[in-house]
Amino acid sequence: MPSKIDPSRYADTGFSIADTPPELNAFLFQQMMRKSGAEHLEIGCRMNDTARALVWSGIPQDLPEAKRRELFLERFYGDSRH
């Protein structure tokens, strides 16, 4: 899957954070590259857990479980019916 990051922005760091100075982007990239593959995987899993928790927190708990799951899937993965 091709990257959606504009390659002309911070190409030397791999990051494209619009509101962060290039020096800080370079530092953050260097820190991330020091991590092991296992640490990268752990970070990704934690980010996924956090995203899921945020989506679940926005769905009313008084709905039937099937409807809650449907809303979760639509919000987390997008509505695949369209």
The encoded tokens of residue 82 equal 């369209």
At 57 the pLDDT is 97
- pLDDT tens for the chain, 82 residues long, are 455 555 555 555 555 566 778 888 888 888 988 999 999 999 999 999 999 999 999 999 999 999 999 999 999 998 666 5
Q: Please report the sign of the dihedral spanned by the C-alpha atoms of residue 10, residue 16, residue 22, residue 28.
A: negative
At 22 the pLDDT is 80
Count CA atoms closer than 13 A to 76's CA, side-chain side: 19
At 35 the pLDDT is 94
- Nearest by Cα to 55 from 32, 77, 37: 77
At 69 the pLDDT is 96
Domain definitions of the chain by residue range: 1-34, 37-77
